[in-house]
């Protein structure tokens, strides 16, 4: 059976002279079409051998079917894989969906520098080469009280760079309860080892005292380091020294104090009904030598790792050869500068910044949007799905405020004809893809994270998919 099917597969030469593939060669190019044809034929040959011909009908190897597969292959190849998505999951900082939704000001700033050349590293007054950090240094220092700042491509890079500069071949004292593993299996001990610093664990998982740090000090101690707990919290019988206490100990023994703040809060999260995150300003005020945090978490900007602190420390870090390897480009700087400017007027941030707008949007406003969607859906998909408005919880995400949820309202769709998992998958295949949650035989849409103007995508996609399924089952 398998041999018969393999004989029926057309040759590349016979395919490339068909009118359909000639047209594709004009649209793309001949080499790409030939490569696509070879890929499709080879994949089909592998499947036939793997299944030994079973479950393969003769129609499956028909030339028209193969040509259609080649068309799809080429469309996928020449279509961007990174695309706009609709986030209906309720996770505000969704790592898989690009974390923070950028403010309009950041989008406009990026658009402006995309158009041509820009003043990335040139001094306008002298016309000479300058440093790209100049665009962000003043803003970061004003917002936090730091003496100097620099920016690299993410916070893991920032942590590694600080350690490599200030504590290479030296011991760095860290509480055992802070040896975190963040997304993608990146572990703090691994980052520290790669940096060249030597990890010195102190305390226990739930309790570390200032005396534990003091007893660990020796002639090879390079720094004390505090690490943000990121995606977990130790609750109950737990305690750690404050950053002020650690600063006093580090100053007394003339060693560096490093603070990996993770989320990088510039505003008090209690104002949004959430558990407070360590404020960057408080670390600087306490006297840390270097602090670092993500730009795409609670700052809500493009991906970057921000390093700031005492001028002497930042100057050493800036001279490290690794800094050039880890630096950010003009698009990141443009987007981050515009985002940081929003924090100069914190009383307006709920309106100007989408992340903080999502934190603060009211339940009645969310409910109103959901009811509007239900009014459009109900008459047309009656019998195909159960539709309701239910209570739920949104999450901050990306390791920020991990143990809390924000009360929200959800659109609940319970399909009658097919499974919720299948509906969720079909929604992800839409243009733009729509990401939801599946819970208790239902697909859930959290309108807190669905951006302005995107409600229409949800309604149109559900109408199209449920109507299509209905027609398929008639």
Q: What share of the chain is helix, strand, coil (3-state, %, to 5)?
A: 45, 20, 35
CB 459 within 8 A of CB 373: yes
Shared-domain flag, residues 270 and 372: no
* DSSP string of 240-278, one letter each residue: ---HHHHHHHHHHTT-EEEEEEET-BSS-GGGGTSPPPP
Q: Does the residue 354 lie in any domain? A: no
**Interatomic CA distance for residues 324 and 327, integer angstroms:** 5
Same domain, 241 and 307: yes
- Looking at residue 474, its pLDDT comes to 43
> Exposure string (b/e) for 275-298, b if CB count within 10 Å is 16 or more?
eebbbbbbbbebbbbbbbbbbbbb
| Closest to 202 (Cα-Cα) out of 190, 212, 189 | 212
Answer whether 121's CB lies under 8 Å from 131's CB: yes
Per DSSP, what are the bridge partners of residue 149? 308
10 & 123 share domain: no
pLDDT for 179 equals: 84
Residue in 280, 323, 318, 283 with CA at minimum distance from that of residue 299: 280
Domain boundary among 297, 322, 349: 349
Using DSSP's 3-state secondary structure scheme, residue 17 falls into coil
CATH of the domain at 464: 3.90.1150.110
Task: Say how many domains are in the chain.
Answer: 3
Mean pLDDT across the chain: 91
pLDDT at 9: 87
Residue 373 and residue 254 share a domain: no
Structure tokens, 30: 């001949």
In terms of domains, do 201 and 295 share one?
yes
The verdict on 193 and 300 lying in the same domain is yes
Q: Look at residues 329, 349, 369 and tell me which one is the last residue of a structural domain.
A: 349
What is the extent of the structural domain holding 462?
86-92+359-472
Report d(CA 29, CA 292) in Å as an integer.
48
Query: In this structure, are residues 192 and 199 in contact, taking their beta carbons and an 8 Å threshold?
Result: yes
Q: How far is 251 from 262, CA to CA, in rounded Å?
A: 23
Report pLDDT digits (tens) over 18-42. Answer: 999 999 999 999 999 999 999 999 9
- pLDDT beneath 70, residues of the chain: 1, 51-60, 182-185, 230-236, 400-403, 468-474
Please check whether residues 8 and 137 belong to one and the same domain: no
Burial class (CB in 10 A: 0-12, 13-18, 19+), 86: buried
Residue 235 and residue 268 share a domain: yes
CATH code, domain carrying 212: 3.40.640.10
In a domain, 208, yes or no: yes
| Statement to judge: residues 281 and 375 lie in one domain | no
Tell me the chain's radius of gyration from C-alpha atoms. Answer: 28
Q: Please tell me whether residues 380 and 276 are part of one structural domain.
A: no
Check residue 317 and give its pLDDT.
97
- What phi, psi does 446 have (nearest 5°)? -95, 110
Residues 337 and 433 in one domain: no
- 301 closest CA partner among 311, 310, 293: 293
pLDDT digits (tens, 9 = 90+) for 407-464: 999 999 999 888 999 999 999 999 999 999 999 899 999 999 999 899 999 999 999 9
Same domain for 110 and 69, yes or no, is: no
């Amino acid at each position: 059976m398998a041999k018969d099917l393999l004989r029926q597969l057309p040759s590349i030469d016979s395919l490339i002279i068909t009118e359909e593939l000639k047209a594709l060669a004009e649209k793309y190019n001949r080499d790409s079409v030939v490569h696509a044809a070879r890929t499709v034929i080879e994949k089909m040959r592998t499947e036939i051998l793997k299944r030994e011909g079973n479950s393969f009908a003769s129609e499956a190897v028909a030339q028209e079917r193969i040509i259609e597969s080649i068309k799809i292959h080429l469309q996928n190849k020449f279509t961007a894989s990174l695309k706009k998505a609709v986030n209906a999951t309720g996770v505000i900082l969704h790592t898989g969906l690009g974390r923070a939704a950028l403010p309009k000001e950041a989008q406009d700033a990026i658009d402006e520098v995309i158009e041509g050349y820009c003043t990335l590293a040139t001094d306008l007054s002298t016309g000479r080469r300058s440093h790209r950090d100049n665009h962000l240094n003043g803003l970061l220092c004003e917002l936090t009280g730091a003496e100097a700042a620099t920016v690299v491509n993410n916070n893991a890079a920032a942590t590694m760079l600080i350690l490599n500069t200030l504590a290479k071949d030296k011991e760095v004292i860290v509480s055992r309860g802070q040896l975190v593993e963040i997304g993608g299996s990146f572990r703090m001990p691994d980052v520290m080892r790669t940096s060249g610093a030597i990890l010195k664990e102190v305390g226990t998982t739930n309790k570390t005292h200032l005396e534990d740090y003091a007893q660990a000090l020796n002639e090879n101690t390079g720094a004390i380091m505090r690490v943000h707990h990121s995606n977990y919290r130790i609750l109950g019988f737990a305690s750690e020294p404050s950053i002020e206490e650690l600063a006093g100990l580090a100053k007394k023994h003339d060693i560096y104090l490093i603070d990996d703040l993770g989320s990088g809060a510039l505003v008090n999260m209690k104002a949004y009904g959430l558990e407070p995150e360590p404020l960057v300003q408080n670390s600087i005020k306490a006297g840390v030598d270097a602090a670092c945090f993500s730009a795409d978490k609670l700052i809500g900007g493009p991906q970057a790792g921000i390093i700031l602190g005492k001028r002497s420390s930042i100057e050493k870090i800036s001279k490290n050869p690794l800094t050039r390897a880890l630096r950010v480009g003009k698009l990141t700087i443009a987007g981050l500068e515009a985002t940081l400017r929003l924090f100069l007027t914190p009383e307006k941030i709920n309106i100007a910044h989408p992340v903080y707008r999502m934190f603060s949007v009211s339940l009645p406003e969310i409910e109103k949007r959901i009811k509007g969607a239900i009014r459009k859906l109900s008459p047309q998909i009656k019998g195909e799905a159960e539709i309701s408005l239910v209570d739920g919880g949104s999450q901050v995400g990306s390791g920020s405020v991990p143990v809390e949820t924000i009360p929200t309202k959800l659109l609940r769709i319970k399909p009658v004809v097919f499974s919720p998992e299948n509906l969720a998958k079909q929604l992800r295949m839409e243009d733009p893809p729509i990401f939801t949650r599946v819970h208790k035989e239902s697909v859930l849409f959290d309108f807190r994270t669905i951006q302005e103007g995107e409600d229409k995508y949800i309604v149109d996609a559900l109408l199209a998919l449920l109507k299509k399924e209905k027609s398929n089952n008639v």
